[in-house]
Amino acid sequence: MSSSKGRVRVVAVSMAAALTLGITACTAAATADPSSSTGLAVALGEAPNQDVVDLYTDRDTAVSAAVDALPQFVEKALDQTGVPGAQVAVVSNGQVVFDEGYGVRDVTTQEPVDVDTVFQIASLSKPLSSSIVAKAITDDPDLSWDDPVVAYLPDFTLRDPYVTEHGKIADFFSHRTGIPTGAGDDLEDIGFDADYILAHLDQVPLASFRDTYQYSNFGLTVGGEAVAASRGQTWAQTAQELLFEPLGMTSTTTLHEDYLAADDRAAMHARTGDGRYEQLFDRDADAEAPAGGVASTAGDIAKWMTMVLADGEVDGAQFIDPLVLAQTYSAHSITGGDAKNLTSRTSHYGFGTNVGATVTGRVNINHSGAFGWGAATNATMIPDLNLGIVVLTNGAPSGVPEAIVAEFVDLVQFGAETRPWLDLWPARFAEFSDPAGDLVGEEPPTDAAPTGPAGDYVGTYTSPYFGDFTVSEQNGILTGALGPDGGYTFELDPWDGDTLSFVPTGENALPGSLSSAVFVREGEQITGVTLTYFNTFPAPDQEPNGLGVFTRVG
């Protein structure tokens, strides 16, 4: 299947909440007799709006049976989809009751995944980062979710001065600043670091402030960097000091070099066909570390889930203020629902996490993560059951983590699956491996040729957002160069007159991508060029943003 647009490869996948999952303080106090009208048993909460459909059996038996079924289902998921490896952990009543590895960490070496294998977790970094901020607020009475980021990043600006002045840490962590989905991801793809990207977000057209949900990796990164700056630290130092070290998350890091230094690490695998995964890329997500740069193990994530499920306690002592933590897992943004359909259920986002509900009415906290270059993850917690599960995989977005979680939650609630999750979720994720660009699936004209000689296009072009784009020629072949020191290069091939073609590469432009470079000719002089792939953000249904329009300067 071809695609004319990129896909955001670091994702929340909030539909997981809508279909399968989903904090309340609901504690089942009693079980009502089955209603003669429904035949269902209801577990009564402390208030009527906390009532839930009862489990099919007692809680401990249900969890034990679901845990026993996990190995077979995980192995089936890997066999059916071709995903190379997985790591799964389950937390129940404050204890890690399951922690195992499956498959291989690298298809080229065939080394097995074990419980110590370190995985890149992509956007599962976001809820960890929200806990880091909650701990920072707990420790510093002068820090708050409601602080404007410019209080700590005074040089940071956005295109709208009002949003610059009033945008809170909370706004950036709940994706309601108006920064469009994918803004900054394109700069990261061509090699720019966090300093450059954050300094150029002021070029980005904004959606309505606090009125729209725009999932933004670099928006959340701004919030994290503001908190680190409030402490006079880097984000890596803040994360290590406030969360990873106190919780004993010894295999967890936000630095890509640490991940690469781990002897036991899961390589990334891109999907190159139906059931085929290859180790092709290395993904350095340091620029967006708070949003997608964490590497960890399922066992370490389980330690974090244990703390969250204990309302911020660690070993019986308060670690994070429960009221601050509760803000994190409250609904702050509406992420889904059909306003024209009264039966459509609304989904929500807290601070760095999805907040939803299972079909039995139990609130659930969850987040997925994905890199098109080869990582897919999910962590889900159901506080009412004091239960959490995390699935890490080293294959491109496949639906495998979501399917395993959905199966597990079904088995706990009903003793059987409600849907064929291994058929549903991979199909929903298939498009995440699509190539990107306006020329995907198109064949160049048989008489493809540029309007003028190669020398017409040679020169330097500039964009306030991307910086310089240089075109050079050697032996009749045109090469374009973007990014720091012109390190992101591609050939420009004839297509149709002054429209040339090029192959974009990166996390948001997977193998098979193809796009147009539309040069502007005034008389005999080329005066500018639009790089079409770089003129929209890498998310579905984005309109041209004008950022990929370059003016010739030399």
Mean pLDDT of the chain, nearest integer: 92
Asked whether residue 9 carries a pLDDT value surpassing 50, the answer given is: no
Asked whether residue 21 carries a pLDDT value surpassing 70, the answer given is: no
Asked whether residue 330 carries a pLDDT value surpassing 50, the answer given is: yes
Q: What is the pLDDT of residue 29?
A: 41
Residue range 149-190, pLDDT digits in tens: 999 999 999 999 999 999 999 999 999 999 999 999 999 999
Residue range 388-417, pLDDT digits in tens: 999 999 999 999 999 999 999 999 999 999
Instruction: Give the whole-angstrom CA distance, residue 373 versus residue 368.
Output: 15
Which residues 6+ apart lie within 8 Å of 339 measured at CB? Answer: none
DSSP string, 69-126: HHHHHHHHHHHHH---EEEEEEEETTEEEEEEEEEBS-TTT-PBP-TT-BEE-GGGHH
Query: Between residues 446 and 458, which one has the greater pLDDT?
Result: 458
Mean pLDDT, residues 367-394 taken together: 97
Q: Three-state DSSP class for 548?
A: coil
Q: What is the pLDDT of residue 11?
A: 44
Mean pLDDT, residues 243-268 taken together: 98
Strands 317-318 and 499-502: unpaired
Instruction: Give the whole-angstrom CA distance, residue 274 versus residue 277.
Output: 9
Q: What is the pLDDT of residue 148?
A: 98
Residues 149, 155, 160, 166, Cα dihedral to 10°? 30
Query: Between residues 59 and 345, which one has the greater pLDDT?
Result: 59
Asked whether residue 124 carries a pLDDT value surpassing 50, the answer given is: yes
Q: What is the pLDDT of residue 39?
A: 53
Q: What is the pLDDT of residue 336?
A: 84
42-46, 101-105, 224-228, 324-328: least confident range: 42-46
Instruction: Give the whole-angstrom CA distance, residue 35 versus residue 33.
Output: 6
